[in-house]
Amino acid sequence: MVAGNGTVQGTLTLAGLPIGNVEDAPPRLLRALEEARIIAAEDTRRLRQFATRAGVRLGGAQGARVVSYYDANESRRTDELLEDLREGRDVVVVTDAGMPGVSDPGYRLAAACADEGIRVTAIPGPSAVTTALVVSGLPTDRFCFEGFPPRKGLASHLAELAGERRTMVFFESPHRIAATLAAMAEAFGADRRAAVCRELTKTYEEVRRGGLGELAAWAAEGVKGEVSVVVEGMRPAAAAASDEDLAAAVAALEEEGVRRKEAIGRVAREAGVPKRRVYDLVHGISGAQ
């Protein structure tokens, strides 16, 4: 690509690697890795392992310059790679699995190239987001990707998503999945439908479906491998439930002798709304939605 000053610029290629099964690698990806001169990889060791399994020689006979490009060095490496691109050298960016820039390094360099008018292209590949979505059994017509839930402020973050009507897709680490599912059950309701997708496209692939409360109890026993979580959005009927109706329903149950805690839980389940919302309404907490 020719820049405004007449110099030839390189092209940035964001290349998606298989999320598990090496046989999912498209021919265009393998050819790009063999022809590459500079490859920026989230984990250079894992890239070389993938190349060996796929029967690819990185950079062909001439060999490619393979550099690390991960969270800790992304800022510094972006500047270095941007200079390569300015000087006419093509750069291929890969992550451990899936598309660069989607909860992985790549966005910063792509944005910098876009700002400077440097060509950015992609080699699309398998995505854990859409793979988990389509095998979940939940609605696929409208969805949103929420990435990794925050380590701090998880409850408030999920509370903000409680009214989301689109199907939500999350990533999570195996050692945090039980706590996250429990927090989701509290924020969205224990009966909200969800699916935990583990080790997608790999030998021990597993898709566990059920209510969030049920899935949280299952995950408490321990989960291994890469995990994606798909959660059903709030149903329209639940979204339409008014604060007054919810509070009145709890009051009616209490008059029948049902304890308040149990009444709150029952109303939340039947209305398909988070228990926290009903609790806040009943106790007059400011900001209840």
pLDDT per residue, tens digit, the chain (289 aa), is 555 555 689 999 999 999 999 999 999 999 999 999 999 999 999 999 999 999 999 999 999 999 999 999 999 999 999 999 999 999 999 999 999 999 889 999 999 999 999 999 999 988 999 999 999 999 999 999 999 999 999 999 999 999 899 999 999 999 999 999 999 999 999 999 999 999 999 999 999 999 999 999 999 999 999 999 999 998 876 556 788 888 999 999 999 999 999 999 888 877 777 788 888 889 886 444 4
Phi, psi of 12 (to 5 degrees): -90, 125
Q: What residues contact 15, with CB distance under 8 A and at least 6 apart? A: 29, 32, 33, 92, 93, 94, 100, 122, 123, 125
Q: In the beta sheet, which residues pair with residue 121?
A: 13
Q: Please state the pTM of the whole predicted model.
A: 0.79
- Beta strands, E only, 78-118: 91-94
CA distance 147 to 166: 15
Q: What is the pLDDT of residue 245?
A: 85
Q: What is the pLDDT of residue 14?
A: 98
Q: What is the pLDDT of residue 289?
A: 45
Q: What is the pLDDT of residue 7?
A: 66
Q: What is the pLDDT of residue 286?
A: 47
Reported as half-sphere exposure (CB side, CA atoms, 13 A), residue 279 has a value of: 11
Q: What is the pLDDT of residue 184?
A: 97
Q: What is the pLDDT of residue 207?
A: 98
Q: What is the pLDDT of residue 274?
A: 79
- Beta strands, E only, 124-192: 143-147, 167-172
How many other C-beta atoms can be found within 10 angstroms of the C-beta atom of residue 270? 14
Structure tokens of 74?
Answer: 């992304």
